Amino acid sequence: MSRDLLVAGLDRTPYEEALTLQRGLAEARIQGRLPTDVLLLVEHPPVVTLGRSFKPEHLSTQPEELARRGVDLFEIERGGDVTFHGPGQLVGYPIYDLREHRRDLHWFLRGIEGGLIAALRHLGVEADRDPRYTGVWVAGRKIASIGIHVKQWVTWHGFALNVTTDLSFFDLIVPCGIPGVVMTSVQRVLGDGAGRDIWTRTLDAVVQGFGDEFGQVAQAADVEALRGLLQPPDR
């Protein structure tokens, strides 16, 4: 089992840049040039992404209107339907080699849910699962969405946890293709108790939650060293 977890904080990064990085790291993990699991933690400018299960009727807003509002649009290889990423949302991309854990995608998805539920508990938010859907919920409202891709048992894409997100952006879509779903955030649940440091506390809680859930020791990654893995090794 992979006991080490490199955690890389990318701050606010355009979606396409983060997508290129995670695809490259996944390939490096497949090839053995990246010896440990990695968790990328990032915040994106506004973007809507369409997964493999996307249905056109779940994009409530025309692409031209999204562009006018400054919201990018990407079709990607992850599972799931349509979702939104934007400021105030903590997005995590776990680059895991499941051959070093369990070759079981359902186990991995439940593990991501469990890590987020543990993280939210650290923040004073009681969250749980909905047996009908992937993701994390608080009192019937969705607080985190999950969608992954896997190649040769190496994963990328991941989760989006609403922390201080402007929830009105979700009106642009049918989130995760679930009609009538209501989104929430850590800030919305905690209200005045969230505090100004809620972003930093959420980052720390998620790292702790993932480490506990997957039995790993988290350590800070050298982001530039990770970027260097995107280049093929010298021959």
| 179: region left, alpha or beta (phi > 0 left; psi from -120 to 50 alpha) | beta
Burial of 203 (0-12, 13-18, 19+ CB in 10 A): middle
235 pLDDT band (50/70/90 cuts)?
Answer: very low
pLDDT at 1 over 90: no
pLDDT digits (tens, 9 = 90+) for 62-115: 999 999 999 999 999 999 999 999 999 999 999 999 999 999 999 999 999 999
**CA-based radius of gyration for the chain:** 17
What is the amino acid identity at position 227? R
How far is it, in rounded angstroms, from Cα 227 to Cα 235? 19
To the query of whether residue 176 is one of the catalytic residues in this protein, the response is yes
pLDDT at 234 over 70: no
Res 3: pLDDT: 87
pLDDT at 145 over 70: yes
Res 230: pLDDT: 85
How far is it, in rounded angstroms, from Cα 204 to Cα 176? 26
**Domain map of the chain by residue range?**
4-228
Res 194: pLDDT: 93
* Cα separations in angstroms, 71 against 20, 87, 102, 159, 173: 19, 11, 37, 19, 12
pLDDT average, residue stretch 187-207: 96
pLDDT at 143 over 70: yes
231 pLDDT band (50/70/90 cuts)?
Answer: low
- Strand, helix or coil at 95? strand
Catalytic annotation, pick one of 28, 161, 172, 176: 176
| Fold (CATH) for 4-228 | BirA Bifunctional Protein; domain 2 (3.30.930)
pLDDT at 199 over 60: yes
What percent of the chain clears pLDDT 70, i.e. is strictly above it?
Answer: 97
Predicted structure pTM score? 0.95
pLDDT digits (tens, 9 = 90+) for 117-131: 999 999 999 999 999
What percent of the chain clears pLDDT 90, i.e. is strictly above it?
Answer: 92
pLDDT digits (tens, 9 = 90+) for 158-174: 999 999 999 999 999 99
Mean residue pLDDT across the chain: 94
**Reduced DSSP (H G I as helix, E B as strand, rest coil) percent helix, strand, coil of the chain, to 5:** 35, 30, 35
